Structure 1
Amino acid sequence: MRGVVFTGDRQLEIMSFPDPTPGFGEVVLEMKASGMCGSDLKQYRRPKGVRQNNGLATPVGPTIAGHEPCGVVAAIGPGVDPRQAQVGQRVMVHHYQGCTTCNHCRTGWQQLCQQTSVKVYGNNSHGGHANYMCVPANTLVPLPEALSFTAGAAISCGTGTAYGALRRMNISGNDTIAIFGQGPVGLSATQLATAMGARVIALDISPQRLERAREFGAAETINPSNADPVEAIRDLTHGLGADLTLDTSSSPQARIQAIRALKVWGTCCFVGEGGEVTIDVSPDMLRRQATVIASWTFSNVGQAECARFIIDRKLSVDSLFTDQWKLDQAEEAYKLFDQQNTGKGVFLM
């Protein structure tokens, strides 16, 4: 089979790999859709010869990219419970694998495993930008018939990440939320928060992305390159600030603005990977009773819940995708995605 491998300095190769065979407790998926995520760009842009795995174990040999996998079960190894997987079943992948037995793993949060080096598919273990993918059966999340494979790919990271953050903040129809960054995760958050009844203020420096945010339900849009976003948010909230803010950009400037745009007793959440922020604790947080939290993707339970929410609210998650690609077009696909002014891309197999 063939798979996309990031080689560094904005370069990639489509390499040949042996077709996978499932071992004990594993399944092989025939890939149908594999989404492109903003966090891919950290691996795509890394210098040649340097691994950037956020503290994860370094893989041996080239690693297939793609951590938004969605496909059909093609083969099942020994020891797999029929309730976990059946040949022909439509599935998403919760793209982490820990020890499977600690409290975090058993409650669906394998990425928080404290007992072993966590595998992250598409990062330090083979991902979904390939014809086939081999994963433990316990990472599978059923894909309902009402959802397309492309929707399943989005839920498997970007859209699921947005959903997990909104749930973590206990968002409601009483809230105004300012969402910093309208890339795939931010745009998903705009769509989901609107469906949850909240008033959304969307921020991005790309006019194209702000236009899409309006199409996805944003009540107001702000371009931080044209106006002070903190003052603009206060102007839109009777001088009080937003009830909630969500930063999806990883920009240090956006992160501190997200904190300062809060009203008293407000909550700010970070989901963007990497980067830093410098907080002046007294004026930024303490004297406004601000809460600052982080949300790292979602559990496998949350992933399934996100899928049900999308079906029940009849949301068009497929509309997130502006570009569909074949594996042979991977170089062109990531050059376009690297510009960060388009929508979401997906590889269809």
Structure 2
Amino acid sequence: MSQQVRGVIARGKGEPVSVETVVVPDPGPGEAVVAVQACGVCHTDLHYREGGINDEFPFLLGHEAAGVVESVGEGVTGVAPGDFVVLNWRAVCGQCRACVRGRPWYCFNTHNATQKMTLTDGTELSPALGIGAFAEKTLVHAGQCTKVDPAATPAVAGLLGCGVMAGLGAAINTGGVQRGDSVAVIGCGGVGGAAVMGARLAGASRIIAVDIDQRKLETALRLGATDTVDSSGTDPVAAIRELTGGFGADVVIDAVGRPETYQQAFYARDLAGTVVLVGVPTPEMRLELPLIDLFSRGGALKSSWYGDCLPTRDFPVLIDLYLQGRLDLAAFVSETIPLDDVEAAFGRMHRGEVLRSVVVF
């Protein structure tokens, strides 16, 4: 029997969100209904509201969430009612060309729930990243539920569902940061801050945080940066080179995703170094680089999708590190808010006043 819950809806491009009644159907084959306990306010949700991802309005926003499985559909064996889970938007299929080659973190055919949640008048909702977790309950594919230790605080655990995992994974999985490496992170919001933390966790010897906002640079120091560069008044390429003996960093992570910051990352790396793009550019952006520089500098230019994570592999390990006191995920939670405060939280996020606002149910 379907249920009615409260959820945050974006009805049109640029319109303020509203809290409305959402109809959640019983789970079908391969699906699960999750009682959401916490959900982070992510830039991606704002992109949905602004029409920056697609125009399939109305959207049920929210995707960075943790909660408890309430019920499962036919054929579900990986999770059961009562399991504490982090929701993810990479439910790997196990059958595509990436999966069969043993690279499931690149899965090209990830699963979402087949059924649609709706408004009370029957209007179908598009759940953000196939999740839609700014709601008291949500319907997802069972593979989008990753079981973790229930001792973790939901407001913290849910952050692995998107931004924090993207940053940690950009450093550890995509960038392959090793002990003793030098790392520079350009853009130190939530994702960039997590990349700083990931570099520290991997054992980098020098971690250079670059931003134009002094508040974010101070936060980066708390998250593990050894040095900061205020690029509003300093050439970041020259500064990074000076801090690395004139060579450039072994790994440079662009957590902004603009042509200007990507060029900075490209020229701030050492010969044969690695550039990781984890900031998301917009479709109209273009990049121009001399081809000889691409050849002569060598190394690797990588894009990081969701931190190249495999949720079943990465989430439980990171939660265990958090519970052991070795990974301060709680540092990313700037505030907890009620569901009705999401629109105001978008404003605080856009102004750079918070790392993460988290809706707590």
TM-score normalized with structure 1 length? 0.88
**What is the Cα-based RMSD across aligned positions, in Å?**
2.5
Q: Corresponding residue for 1:238?
A: 245
- Corresponding residue pairs, total: 337
Structure 1: segments with no counterpart, 5+ residues: none
**Could you report, residue by residue, the CA deviation over 1:259-297 in whole angstroms, capped at 9, with x for unpaired residues?**
110111110000112233524234542111132111101
Cross-structure match for 2:213:
206
- 2:263 corresponds to which residue? 256
Task: Return the alpha-carbon distance in structure 1 between the equivalents of residues 346 and 168 of structure 2.
Answer: 25
Kindly tell me: are residues 115 and 312 of structure 1, through their superposed partners in 2, closer, same or farther at Cα, counting changes over 3 Å?
Answer: closer
Give the whole-Å Cα distance in 2 for the aligned partners of 1:180 and 1:250. 9
Alignment of 1:108-257 (within 5 A): 109=104, 112-113=107-108, 122-123=127-128, 125-166=130-171, 167-198=173-204, 199-257=206-264
Answer yes or no: is 1:62 the counterpart of 2:58.
Answer: yes
Change (3 A) 1:325 1:109: farther
Pick from 255, 258, 272 the counterpart of residue 265 of structure 1. 272
Instruction: Name the SS for the 1:18 alignment partner.
Output: strand
Per the TM alignment, residue 307 of structure 1 is displaced from its structure 2 partner at its CA by 3.2
CA distance in 1, matches of 2:202, 2:129: 35
Given candidates 313, 319, 328, the residue that maps to 2:331 is 319
Q: Measured at CA, do residues 291 and 17 of structure 1 come closer, stay the same or move farther in structure 2, by a change above 3 Å?
A: same
Question: Which residue of the other structure, out of 44, 51, 72, is the alignment partner of 2:49?
Answer: 44
| Residues 115/175 of structure 1: CA separation in 2 closer, same or farther (3 Å cut) | closer
Matched to 1:80, the amino acid is V
Once the two structures are TM-superposed, the CA of residue 185 in structure 1 deviates from its matched residue by: 0.7
Superposed displacement of residue 10, structure 1 = 5.5
Q: Confirm or deny: 8 A CA contact 2:96 2:107 kept in the other structure.
A: no
Deviation of 1:102 after TM superposition, in Å, equals 2.4
| Alpha-carbon displacement from aligned partner over 1:142-180 (angstroms, at most 9, x marks no partner) | 121342112221111112112222222221121110001
Comparing 147-156 with 124-133, which one deviates more in the overlay? Answer: 124-133
Q: 1:25-104 maps to which residues of 2 (within 5 A)?
A: 25-46=30-51, 52-53=53-54, 59=56, 62-81=58-77, 84-97=78-91, 101-104=95-98
Distance 1:128 1:191 in 2: 26
Contact 2:30 2:73 in 1 (8 A): yes
TM-score by length of 2: 0.85
- Give the counterpart letter for 1:327 in structure 2: L
Give the conservation status (yes or no) of the 8 Å contact 2:112–2:144.
no
Q: Which residue of 2 aligns with 1:294?
A: 303
Deviation readout 1:92-122 (Å, 9 max, x if unpaired): 1122457563244576848742599999x84
Equivalent residues of 1:262, 1:290 under 8 A apart = no
Distance 2:290 2:258 in 1: 19
Structure 1 CA distance for aligned equivalents of residues 21 and 103 of structure 2:
33
1:2-41 matched pairs, under 5 angstroms: 2-6=6-10, 7-9=12-14, 11-41=16-46
- Percent same amino acid among aligned pairs? 27
Where 1:314 maps in the other structure, the secondary structure is coil
Tell me how far apart the structure 1 counterparts of residues 316 and 103 of structure 2 sit (CA, whole Å). Answer: 11
Contact persistence 1:209–1:341 (CA under 8 A): no
Deviations 1:199-235 (A, max 9, x none): 2100111111111111111100111111000001111
Alignment partner of 1:336 out of 317, 339, 348: 348
